[in-house]
Structure 1
Amino acid sequence: MGNLNKSTLLVNYEEQLMIKRYSYNTIKTYKSCFKEFIDFYPKKNLNQMKNSDIQRFMIHLIRRKNIARSTQNQYINAIKFYFEKVLNRPKETYQWHRPRAVKKLPHVFSEQEVMLIIKSIKNLKHRCIILTIYSAGLRLSEVLNLRISDIHSKENCIFIRDAKGNKDRYTLLSEKLLLTLREYYINYKPSFWLFEGANAGRYSKSSVQAIFKRALVKAKIGKNGTIHTLRHSFATHLLERGVNLRYIQTLLGHNSIKTTEIYTHISKQNLKKIASPLDFLII
């Protein structure tokens, strides 16, 4: 590991991520991946690592942990960051095989199913969290990072700060959500974060995931789904109601329209508008 012990190495690594203004979640993920990498080679000098050493680590992850393709890419990016940003080596194309992305259509709830999920949640705070995610198309981390000041009621919008890719954006503020948020504010009186847990800290991810899982069971919806499915549903339902794809791209905070275009493949309402060529034949 060279002249640096493991703890110092990780501190330096984290500092470089912070200097480069990586998001909190990315820093946490990269640091965890990199720590696992250096633990795998406790006696090796990282500065003298070869591509074959990294390849061996990747094979270990695939064989022993059966990691997903997206997770494998996270490990690769975390290790790549160390060599290029911490050691200041010039960028190069490493001979590490990145897994081919599997293009799967996301699961989506129907509007009826979303309504059943929301109705099954009786706790006001819990219902507000789920309503906010669906009505604004938010990621889980984004709803937990919301501050009270991010709700712009006069402009009917919500400000999303430091989202994926360190980007800020505005998204929709539903009138129904605003009414529920006002009731929630009166009852819970949050001090800084919109949704606060113990000691006025941010509400935890695991708590929101548990809320959603319970709601899914109570609503008796026989579909696999996660919190992120609500975001997919938001985009799909907007598209089905005729909202321009470019607007949806902006609301979701996608860099590329190609990312947003996936929802054109899962919108059943749009499929209904297209007639099969068979329907034009006289038979």
Structure 2
Amino acid sequence: MKKLILKNESFQYIEKSFREWLDILGYAESTVYNLPNHIRELFYYLEQNNINNINQLDNQIIKDHYNNLKLRSNDRKGGALSNGSLNKQLQALYKFTEYLRQSGRMILPTLNIDWENDDTKHIEILTTEEIQQLYKATQHYPKNIKYTKPHYFFEAIALRDCAMLTVFYGCGLRRNEGYHLTVDDINFDKQILHVRKGKANKERLVPFNKTNSKYLQDYVYDGRINLIKDKRESAFFINERGKQLSSQSMSIRLKLLQQRTDDLQLQEKNVRLHVLRHSIATHLLSNGMPLENISRFLGHNSLESTQVYTHLVNQEDGN
């Protein structure tokens, strides 16, 4: 995309305001840079069609602009824009309408523009059976063998790994959310997990069921207590040295559990912590949970971010 020059000062101001809004909410630096650039293309389209006031914007104009993008050539690579590039444009458009709504500038109905099929951004998910195998793999710790560590140490690691699966699958947390989790963030009486450092600095309360409560309590009261060396340590996940477990170490532990399973097909999958989050969202949707509830559960800023899971469920149903 060549650098587009906007003549309309109000559009220039709104673009700048949109960028600041993204920055204040704590979005990644790349997002703060790229999304307003995509919206500049929308403003340029408006100017070319003699639309000079944001109040003239409506969903049909946005759809016409998007259809025009689908016909536009790729300046750098030639040919048409890839589906991945189009989805980035869609992300910007959806986020911009959210900005317009939250800033009080105007309220537009939901766009309802379908995401393009992007084979380069395949979302990996695990079946419920594969999730169960990961839980079973936490029990595959050394037994009846003389090690430098006592037996209860390996039991504590097993309980921690089980709690890790529960936090990222059972509660659907992002990696960074799980890393910042503290013991005080979990209320066992109300079966609520408090996410204090969510994406864009948003907090949310995540409910968990009795089974997940047992896994978490087993770790807190029987596992974590045997790992910590300083009782003042508040981090939920503790490493072998008694300190906070890093997010990278969590990813390594998950890979280890994956390789401990007997399922060769599962071992070949690109299993990451975020795959657990994708998996629980898909399973909840398959079991009939409303999309709005799943969106709140995951801490999405808008329903559009959750709609990708409807495509995954539809693909599974079609197989």
Match of 1:108 in 2: 125
* Structural mapping, 1:1-283, within 5 Å: 102=118, 104-122=121-139, 123-187=158-222, 188-189=224-225, 191-197=233-239, 201-219=243-261, 220=263, 221=266, 222-267=268-313, 271=317
Q: 1:247 to 1:141 in 2, by over 3 A?
A: same
Q: TM (normalized to structure 2)? A: 0.52
What is the rounded CA distance, in whole Å, between the counterparts of 1:250 and 1:270 in structure 2?
Answer: 23
Deviation (angstroms), 1:140: 1.1
- SS at 2:205 equivalent: strand
- SS at 1:159 equivalent: strand
User: Do 2:172 and 2:280's aligned partners in 1 also have CA atoms closer than 8 Å?
Assistant: yes
What is the rounded CA distance, in whole Å, between the counterparts of 1:199 and 1:129 in structure 2?
Answer: 17
Amino acid aligned to 2:132: M
1:191-241 CA-partner distances (Å, limit 9, x unpaired): 411112367543101211111111111223132221110000010000011
What is the rounded CA distance, in whole Å, between the counterparts of 1:215 and 1:21 in structure 2?
Answer: 38
User: Do 2:166 and 2:216's aligned partners in 1 also have CA atoms closer than 8 Å?
Assistant: no
Deviation (angstroms), 1:178: 1.4
* Greater length-normalized contact order (CA 8 Å, ≥ 6 residues apart): 1
Match of 1:86 in 2: none
Question: Any gaps of 5 or more consecutive residues in structure 1?
Answer: 1-16, 31-58, 60-68, 74-99, 275-283
What is the rounded CA distance, in whole Å, between the counterparts of 1:201 and 1:120 in structure 2?
Answer: 24
Tell which deviates more after alignment, 198-207 or 260-269: 198-207
Deviation (angstroms), 1:264: 0.5
Q: TM (normalized to structure 1)? A: 0.58
Q: 1:218 to 1:270 in 2, by over 3 A?
A: closer
User: Do 1:105 and 1:262's aligned partners in 2 also have CA atoms closer than 8 Å?
Assistant: no
User: Do 1:239 and 1:263's aligned partners in 2 also have CA atoms closer than 8 Å?
Assistant: yes
What is the rounded CA distance, in whole Å, between the counterparts of 2:206 and 2:195 in structure 1?
Answer: 7
1:107-150 CA-partner distances (Å, limit 9, x unpaired): 11000011001111121112211222100011111111111111
Match of 2:103 in 1: none
- SS at 1:267 equivalent: helix
Q: 1:271 to 1:158 in 2, by over 3 A?
A: same
User: Do 1:108 and 1:233's aligned partners in 2 also have CA atoms closer than 8 Å?
Assistant: yes
What is the rounded CA distance, in whole Å, between the counterparts of 1:162 and 1:101 in structure 2?
Answer: 32
What is the rounded CA distance, in whole Å, between the counterparts of 2:28 and 2:239 in structure 1?
Answer: 23
User: Identity over aligned residues, as a percent?
Assistant: 26
Aligned residues: 189
Match of 1:277 in 2: none
What is the rounded CA distance, in whole Å, between the counterparts of 2:240 and 2:270 in structure 1?
Answer: 30
Amino acid aligned to 1:116: Q
What is the rounded CA distance, in whole Å, between the counterparts of 1:166 and 1:257 in structure 2?
Answer: 18
User: Do 1:159 and 1:171's aligned partners in 2 also have CA atoms closer than 8 Å?
Assistant: yes
Match of 1:53 in 2: none
Amino acid aligned to 2:208: L
What is the rounded CA distance, in whole Å, between the counterparts of 1:201 and 1:235 in structure 2?
Answer: 31
Tell which deviates more after alignment, 228-237 or 165-174: 165-174
